[in-house]
C-alpha cells in the first residue's frame, strides 16, 4: 500500500542527511523535509530513527563487492584495491561510512548491522583471496587471514577515509604490490 516513490525519496534523504549531519544529529523532521514528504509518511514506515537508518543502510551495504578471481594474487590485490577505492571515493560513502563506524562504537545495533553487512563481506573476500593464493603456492600455508585483512583494508581505508589524500591509479598499483609483499612476510 505504501507508495514506492515516497519510500525511495525517504531512502535517498536518509543518506543525504546522514552525510550532511551524521547519525547523531540526524532528525526525522529533517529527513521528511529533505524528501519532500510529511513526517507521517516516515513514521508510517519506521518506528524511530534507529530502525530507519539500520534498514536503509543495511539494504545498500549488504549488496557486497564483486571480486573476480583473476588467477594471480597480485592481480587479485590490484582488483581489490581498485574496487574498494571506487566505492569509498563516492562522496556519500566517504562521509557516511566513517560516521557510522564511529557511532557503532556506542550503539550495538549499528555495530551489528555494519559487522554483518560490511566487515563480514570484506573478511570473506580477503579470506578467499588469501586461500586461493595459498592453494596456488603464492603464499605460505600459515598466512594469517586476520592479519591479511588488516593489511589489505587498512592502508586504503586510512588513505581514503582518514587522511583523505589523493589516490591515483599508480598509487593503487604500488599499494597492491606492497600489500603482496607484506602478506608473504606476515606468517602466523
Partner DNA sequence: GGACGACGCAACGCAACCGTTCCGTCGTGA
Partner DNA sequence: TCACGACGGAACGGTTGCGTTGCGTCGTCC
Interaction site with its own copies (CB under 8 A): 19-25, 94-95, 98-99, 101-103, 105-106, 119, 144, 146-147, 149-151, 153-159, 161-165, 171, 174-175, 177-188
Residue (106 or 165) nearer to DNA, CB: 106
Give the binding site for DNA (CB under 7 A). Answer: 1-3, 6-7, 27-30, 36-41, 43-44, 48-49
Residue (41 or 83) nearer to DNA, CB: 41
Residue (39 or 164) nearer to DNA, CB: 39
DSSP code, position 45: T
Give which of its own copies, DNA, none residue 74 binds (C-beta under 5 to 8 Å, depending on kind): none
Residue (50 or 101) nearer to its own copies, CB: 101
What residues contact 41, with CB distance under 8 A and at least 6 apart?
A: 6, 10, 32, 35
- CA distances to 128, 150, 181 from 134, rounded to whole Å, are 10, 18, 14
Q: C-beta of 158: minimal distance to its own copies in Å?
A: 3
What residues contact 142, with CB distance under 8 A and at least 6 apart?
A: 187, 188
Give which of DNA, its own copies, none residue 65 binds (C-beta under 5 to 8 Å, depending on kind): none
Please work out, in degrees rounded to the nearest 5, the angle formed at the alpha carbon of residue 147 by the alpha carbons of 162 and 144: 165
Give which of its own copies, DNA, none residue 95 binds (C-beta under 5 to 8 Å, depending on kind): its own copies
Residue (29 or 146) nearer to its own copies, CB: 146
- Do 85 and 156 touch, CB atoms closer than 8 A? yes
Q: C-beta of 84: minimal distance to its own copies in Å?
A: 12
Q: C-beta of 12: minimal distance to DNA in Å?
A: 13
Q: How far apart are the first and last CA of the chain?
A: 55
- H helices of 62-168, in order, are 73-89, 91-104, 108-114, 120-136, 145-157
Q: C-beta of 80: minimal distance to its own copies in Å?
A: 14
Q: C-beta of 150: minimal distance to its own copies in Å?
A: 4
Q: Is the dihedral of CA 148, 150, 152, 153 positive or negative?
A: positive
Amino acid at each position: 500500500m505504501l507508495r514506492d516513490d515516497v519510500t525511495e525519496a525517504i531512502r535517498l534523504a536518509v543518506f543525504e542527511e546522514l552525510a550532511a549531519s551524521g547519525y547523531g544529529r540526524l532528525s526525522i523532521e529533517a529527513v521528511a523535509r529533505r524528501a519532500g514528504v510529511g513526517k507521517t509518511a516516515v513514521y508510517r514506515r519506521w518506528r524511530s530513527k534507529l530502525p530507519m537508518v539500520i534498514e536503509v543502510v543495511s539494504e545498500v551495504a549488504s549488496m557486497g563487492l564483486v571480486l573476480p578471481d583473476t588467477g594471480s594474487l597480485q592481480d587479485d590485490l590490484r582488483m581489490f584495491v581498485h574496487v574498494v577505492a571506487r566505492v569509498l571515493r563516492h562522496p556519500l560513502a566517504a562521509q557516511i561510512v566513517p560516521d557510522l563506524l564511529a557511532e557503532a562504537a556506542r550503539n550495538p545495533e549499528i555495530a551489528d548491522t555494519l559487522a554483518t553487512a560490511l566487515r563480514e563481506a570484506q573478511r570473506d573476500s580477503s579470506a578467499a583471496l588469501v586461500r586461493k593464493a595459498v592453494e596456488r603456492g603464492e603464499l605460505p600455508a600459515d598466512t594469517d587471514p586476520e592479519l591479511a585483512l588488516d593489511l589489505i583494508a587498512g592502508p586504503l581505508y586510512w588513505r581514503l577515509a582518514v587522511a583523505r589524500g589523493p589516490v591515483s591509479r599508480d598509487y593503487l598499483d604500488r599499494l597492491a604490490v606492497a600489500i603482496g609483499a607484506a602478506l608473504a612476510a606476515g606468517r602466523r
